[in-house]
Amino acid sequence: MNPLTTDTVEAAAGQSVQNLSIQEKASLLSGRDFWSTAPVPGVPSIVMVDGPHGVRRQEGTADNLGFHASLPSTCFPPGTALGSSWDPELVEEVGRALGREARALSVNVLLGPAINIKRSPLCGRNFEYLSEDPLVTGILGAAYVRGVQTQGVGTSVKHFAANNQETDRMRVSSDVDERTLREIYFPAFERVVRDSDPATVMCSYNRINGTYASENRWLLTDILRTEWGFDGAVVSDWGAVSNRAAALEAGLDLEMPGTDGATVTEVISAVEDGTLDARLVDASAARIAALQRRTALDDGPAVFDAGEHHALARRAAAASIVLLRNENNTLPLRHGITVAVLGEFAEQPRYQGGGSSHVNATHVDVPLEELRRALGEDRVLYAPGFGSSREASSSALLRAEAVDLARHADVSIVFVGLEEKEESEGFDRAHLDLPEDHVALIHAVAEVSNRTVVVLSNGGVVTLEPWHDDVDAIVEGWALGQAGGGAIADILTGRTNPSGRLAESIPFRLNDTASFINFPGEAGHVRYGEGVLVGYRYHETVNVPARYAFGHGLSYTTFSYSDLTALTVGDDEASVQVTVTNTGEHAGADVIQIYVGAPERPVRTPVRELRAFRKVTLEPGESRTLTLDLDRRAFAYYDVTDHRWAVTPGRYSIELGRSSHDIAARTTISIHGDAGRPSPLSLTSTVEEWFTHPIVGPLLIEGITASLTEEQRHAAEGMQDGLKMAYSMPMNQFAKFPGVSIPLESLHQLIEASKEPSFQ
């Protein structure tokens, strides 16, 4: 079935665009300007703006890289933070608030969520992305879309696909094998499309295995529409279309921004000279008309309560902070102590990244002020310690002033991280280091301080070496959005118990990361040579330790686990139960992480993969028994030969992890999987695959032996081992060998037999 002529689209097309001229239909397919579509009779214009963690509605000069001002809106925690919350309900709530703000600013489609996988910690847009893991990304991405779309505002799931770096992003070819695409880079998109019905999907700038995403029919039509059932509109990333007609044929409906009519003319000419099928124009025009109807802001503009949204941004930021280290219970800060707050980031917080997602916040919390409010003015000393705006020569003086305060305080809190100019859309980082004067400040303070706490502000992860062991506590404060200052104070003072977990590994060194030798590529190509071994999948499988593993995060309370059990459901699903108890003295939230380890498979497989998770809040002493379901996909790998998900029969381990590295409990389970569901054979299947095939193997042996004399049969028995030597030969070669001679016709009959419906 050609999805471009499905009943739904045709019906919509019939209704809305049948009376339009080709000029009008073509003009629906290219933006009117930077942020809106062209109106035609019966189909008003719609507005689409960034996204993802705030609404960047520009009124004056427009641009897609955040240079020009936009109207104030709440800067919620960017993806890097929200990903670490591991909390889909919270993300959905943030989505609802974003939807309300979009309505209030007359925005029909919000350009988010950004759900590319963090392949390398260097990627300049990691601050916008959620995780290195497809399950965390997919579940949180789907929650975001659900939340925004409850308000009648559309979303744009981006950037589809394999857009995992900024270097040469508008031309580079991401060279990725199909299994890796299916298992790592596609699943989040697939989940969001299947579970949350996003209004649009945004295709990425890059090429995939040589073909631009915008011109990739396999990607935009075969996978997205036919396999996953997407029936919304495909929008280009801003400026991602190089050949408009080819993009339309591939399934790209709307080109953004507009080109002042140039591509409208191109489309019309292509239809007129017969190189472009007019029905494709009809189908895409109908989808844009459907998008307009779906996202029309009919009931007038809504209003939003900036104060309420700020409070939500603070709660979300606090839930996203990850407490990495807390020696001797340095945190939470005890009342009555004197605290030295050091580092300019305490006064000028770093709370978002640069580029198209840059939001004009309604209000920004300052960590220093929030700490003073929480602990008392007279309890908090402050020195900037370093200064982006100050002379380099004054660095030593600034540091000396900070050290002096550190000597007189009970605890020093050092605010360091990356400046906004260091992480942005459009370029990647070159290393994982903190600025030198930040590291120098940490060292100098740690040397004299009773207790040292480091609070990090960064979009992508930074290395914690070589100062890690010299400090008592480390708070990973990401880019937390406009209320991050309040959220940091909440965590440091214990008003909120930390519950964030790393959604990406923090390596010791850049050299320890999976993509190290293949990032960002060369000569226009980036080879995803690590395959499926991305992030923790690599660290755990290859046994290269990370400083902090994926899933790690401390709390001010403790949790224990008991009675981990797993039961199979049917052939290839399971249900996992575990009881979790808050064994400490504070209420707090834990994240139950279930990893699956597969038996030996015909493909290289990570030692464990996250297959389910749940965040749960418990009072001190409270226990809860949770059930987490594992579907067939949790046990499957993508078989590129047979073009399907395959489940190897055998024993799988079900592991409950405090992180991907720290396994607290483990059980095993027997999965029947595809036993007795052999792959269909082809002429190029190997001799082994033919002879061991449960249906065809016996038929083949029977056929061969039937044609032999008694004497030949005896000889053949002795030749079993010889056959093994031929096991790797493709059958079409083997069948022609002298003395074998299996007729082609018989092979074709057997191929049909291998496809027996009961075995599909």
CB of 693 to ligand BGC, least distance (A): 48
CB of 110 to ligand BGC, least distance (A): 10
Residue among 483, 480, 452 nearest 468 (CA)? 452
Nearer to ligand BGC, 192 or 271 (CB): 192
Residue among 480, 466, 472, 545 nearest 507 (CA)? 545
**Interaction mask 157-186, ligand BGC, x per CB under 6 A:** -x----------------------------
What does residue 595 show for φ and ψ, rounded to 5 degrees? -105, 150
> What residues numbered 346-385 form the site for ligand BGC, per CB under 6 A?
356
Q: Which pairing describes strands 644-646 and 637-639: parallel, antiparallel, or unpaired?
A: antiparallel
Q: Which residue among 4, 16, 30, 50 contacts ligand BGC (CB under 6 A)? A: 50
Distance CA 470, CA 741 (A): 74
**Whose CB is nearest to ligand BGC?**
64
Cα end-to-end span (Å), the chain: 20
Nearer to ligand BGC, 356 or 505 (CB): 356
Nearer to ligand BGC, 50 or 472 (CB): 50
- Position 213 contacts ligand BGC (CB under 6 A): no
Nearer to ligand BGC, 238 or 637 (CB): 238
CB of 14 to ligand BGC, least distance (A): 32
Distance CA 646, CA 666 (A): 24
Q: How far, rounded to the nearest angstrom, does the alpha carbon of residue 150 sit from its chain's CA centroid?
A: 22
Does 237 qualify as catalytic in the annotation?
Answer: yes
Nearer to ligand BGC, 355 or 521 (CB): 355
Token code pair at residue 207: 């090429």
Look at phi and psi of residue 406 and say left if phi exceeds 0, alpha if psi is from -120 to 50, else beta: alpha
> What residues numbered 58-77 form the site for ligand BGC, per CB under 6 A?
64
Token code pair at residue 41: 């009779």
Sign of the CA dihedral 191, 575, 601, 680? Answer: negative
In the numeric block, the tokens 């600013």 are attached to: 105
How many residues of this chain bind ligand BGC (CB under 6 A)? Answer: 8
Looking at residue 310, what DSSP letter applies?
H
Distance CA 358, CA 365 (A): 17
> What residues numbered 290-349 form the site for ligand BGC, per CB under 6 A?
none
Distance CA 622, CA 659 (A): 22
Nearer to ligand BGC, 45 or 733 (CB): 45
Residue among 420, 429, 517, 416 nearest 468 (CA)? 416
> What residues numbered 79-118 form the site for ligand BGC, per CB under 6 A?
111
The catalytically annotated residue of 237, 282, 437, 639 is: 237
Looking at residue 623, what DSSP letter applies?
E
CB of 237 to ligand BGC, least distance (A): 5
CB of 46 to ligand BGC, least distance (A): 15
CB of 356 to ligand BGC, least distance (A): 3
Q: How far is CA 35 from CA 7, 255, 318, 681, in A?
A: 30, 11, 33, 51
CB of 149 to ligand BGC, least distance (A): 17
Helix, strand or coil for residue 34? coil
Distance CA 530, CA 515 (A): 6
> What residues numbered 142-161 form the site for ligand BGC, per CB under 6 A?
158
Helix, strand or coil for residue 354? strand
Let me know: does 572 contact 630? Beta carbons within 8 Å: no
Distance CA 542, CA 531 (A): 13
Looking at residue 516, what DSSP letter applies?
G
CB of 163 to ligand BGC, least distance (A): 8
Nearer to ligand BGC, 154 or 500 (CB): 154
Q: Which residue among 238, 415, 635, 637 contacts ligand BGC (CB under 6 A)? A: 238
Distance CA 100, CA 354 (A): 24
Nearer to ligand BGC, 111 or 446 (CB): 111
Residue among 137, 140, 127, 139 nearest 161 (CA)? 137
CB of 274 to ligand BGC, least distance (A): 34
Nearer to ligand BGC, 62 or 675 (CB): 62
Token code pair at residue 381: 């000393």
> What residues numbered 648-707 form the site for ligand BGC, per CB under 6 A?
none
Tell me which residues touch ligand BGC (CB under 6 A): 50-51, 64, 111, 158, 237-238, 356
Point out the residues that are catalytic. Answer: 237
